C-alpha cells in the first residue's frame, strides 16, 4: 500500500470515529420541540401548554414552540401530531376529549388513544364549570335549569367541537336535564368564551383555567362548579351539589403525549422536564391561580397517564354513544 493511500485511509477512519463520537455525545434535544395544541390560542389547552411548556424549555435547554392545529374537537391536531416523526421533536397537549371521549363520537378516528401514543404525563386536572353570559335571565343554577326547560329552543350553547371537553361535558348536562338547545361549535373555548363575554351565545361548560379571570371580572356568570368541593381559585362559586344538581359531577384534564415509538432518551427527558415544571413554585402558582389541580408525583407518571386514558375511553363510550348520532354535523364557527 502506498504511503499516500495509507494516510488517506487513516484520515477517513479518524473522520468516521469523530462522527461516531459526535453522534453519541449529541444529546437530545438538539433543536426546538414543537408542542401541538389541538385548539385555538387563548383557550384552556393553549394556556396550560404555554405555562408548562415555558418551564420545560428551561430544563430541555431548547425552546418549546406552541403550534395551534384546531378543528374537529381537537382530533385534527392530535391526528397530525400522532403521525409526526417519532423523534421527540413533535409532542402534543391532549385532553379528556381527544384521548377519552373522541373514540365514542368519531367512528373513523385515525388514532387509538391507548395504543398510538407514548404517554409523557398529566399536566393538570381541570374542574368543569357551567357558565352563562352576563345578561342571561337567571342568576343561579336552579333558575338556569328552569329557563332551559321552558325556553330551550331559544338558548344557544358554545363548545369547542364534537368530542371536545366542553361539548362532552355539556352533552352530559343536557342529557341529565333533558334539554335540547342549539349547540355552536368553535375552534376552541378561547373564541367561544369571547362570544360568551360579548353575549352572542348563552352558556357553556368549560375547563376552569379559561374562566377564572372573566368570572372575577364579572364578565360572565358562574352558575356552578361540577366538583365535590369548591375551588380555592373561585371560592364564591357553589358546587353543583350545593346549587341543586348533585348528579352533575365531571372533571377534565390535560396531558402531554408523544407519538408512539418515540425513543427512550427523548421520552425520559420530556418526562423529567414536565415533572420539574410541575414542581416549580412559579409554574405551580400560575396553574393554581387559574384553578387547575396539579397532579402529585404518582399521578404524573407515564404509567398513570396510560391507565387514565384507558379508563376514560371506557367511561365515556357508553355515556356518549347515544349522543354520537345527534352530535355529528354541527356547524363550525
- Angle at CA of residue 330, ends 325 and 333, nearest 5°: 160
Q: Is 189 in the site for ligand ASP (CB under 6 A)?
A: yes
Closest distance of CB 20 from ligand ASP, Å:
44
Instruction: Name the residue among 287, 265, 262 with its Cα closest to residue 277.
Output: 287
**Helix axis angle, 264-279 to 281-289, nearest 10°:** 70
Q: With binding defined as CB under 6 A, does residue 68 bind ligand ASP?
A: no
CB of 192 to ligand ASP, least distance (A): 8
Q: Which three cell numbers stand for residue 175?
A: 342529557
Regarding 231 and contact with ligand ASP (CB under 6 A), the answer is no
- Crossing angle between the packed helical segments 281-289 and 44-60, to the nearest 10 degrees: 180
* Shorter beta-carbon distance to ligand ASP: residue 60 or 293: 293
User: Please, which residue, 53 or 86, has the CB nearer to ligand ASP?
Assistant: 53
211 touches 131 (CB < 8 A) = yes
Q: What is the DSSP letter of 78?
A: H
- Give yes or no for residue 97 binding ligand ASP (CB under 6 A): yes
Q: Does 166 bind ligand ASP (CB under 6 A)?
A: yes
Alpha-carbon distances of 137 from 129, 145, 148, 166, rounded to whole Å: 18, 11, 10, 22
Interface of this chain with ligand ASP, residues 254 to 283, rule: CB under 6 A: none
Smallest gap, in angstroms, from Cβ of residue 330 to ligand ASP? Answer: 13
The minimum distance between CB 58 and ligand ASP, in angstroms, equals 24
Among the listed residues 39, 117, 147, 253, the single contact to ligand ASP using CB under 6 A = 39
Q: Which residues bind ligand ASP (CB under 6 A)?
A: 39, 43-45, 97, 160, 164-166, 188-190, 206-207
Amino acid at each position: 500500500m502506498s504511503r499516500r493511500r495509507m494516510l488517506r485511509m487513516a484520515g477517513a477512519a479518524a473522520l468516521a470515529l469523530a462522527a461516531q463520537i459526535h453522534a453519541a455525545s449529541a444529546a437530545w434535544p438538539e433543536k426546538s420541540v414543537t408542542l401541538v395544541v389541538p385548539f385555538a390560542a387563548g383557550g384552556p389547552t393553549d394556556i396550560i401548554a404555554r405555562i408548562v411548556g415555558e418551564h420545560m424549555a428551561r430544563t430541555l435547554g431548547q425552546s418549546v414552540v406552541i403550534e395551534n392545529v384546531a378543528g374537529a374537537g381537537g382530533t385534527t391536531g392530535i391526528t397530525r401530531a400522532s403521525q409526526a416523526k417519532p423523534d421527540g421533536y413533535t409532542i402534543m397537549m391532549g385532553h379528556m376529549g381527544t384521548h377519552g371521549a373522541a373514540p365514542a363520537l368519531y367512528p373513523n378516528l385515525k388514532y387509538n388513544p391507548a395504543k398510538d401514543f407514548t404517554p409523557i404525563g398529566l399536566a393538570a386536572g381541570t374542574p368543569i364549570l357551567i357558565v352563562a353570559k352576563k345578561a342571561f335571565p337567571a342568576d343561579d343554577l336552579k333558575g338556569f335549569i328552569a329557563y332551559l326547560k321552558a325556553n330551550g329552543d331559544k338558548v344557544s350553547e358554545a363548545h369547542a367541537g364534537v368530542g371536545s371537553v366542553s361539548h362532552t361535558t355539556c352533552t352530559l348536562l343536557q342529557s341529565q336535564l333533558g334539554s335540547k338547545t342549539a349547540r355552536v361549535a368553535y375552534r376552541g373555548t378561547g373564541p367561544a368564551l369571547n362570544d360568551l363575554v360579548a353575549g352572542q351565545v348563552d352558556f357553556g361548560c368549560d375547563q376552569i383555567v379559561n374562566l377564572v379571570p372573566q368570572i372575577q371580572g364579572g364578565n360572565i356568570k358562574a352558575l356552578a362548579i361540577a366538583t365535590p368541593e369548591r375551588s380555592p381559585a373561585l371560592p364564591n362559586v357553589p358546587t353543583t351539589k350545593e346549587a341543586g344538581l348533585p348528579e352533575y359531577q365531571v372533571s377534565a384534564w390535560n396531558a402531554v403525549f408523544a407519538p408512539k415509538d418515540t425513543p427512550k432518551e427523548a421520552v425520559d427527558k420530556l418526562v423529567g422536564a414536565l415533572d420539574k415544571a410541575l414542581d416549580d413554585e412559579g409554574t405551580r402558582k400560575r396553574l393554581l391561580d387559574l384553578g387547575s389541580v396539579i397532579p402529585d408525583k404518582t399521578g404524573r407518571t407515564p404509567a398513570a397517564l396510560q391507565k387514565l386514558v384507558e379508563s376514560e375511553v371506557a367511561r365515556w363510550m357508553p355515556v356518549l354513544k347515544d349522543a354520537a348520532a345527534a352530535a355529528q354535523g354541527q356547524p363550525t364557527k
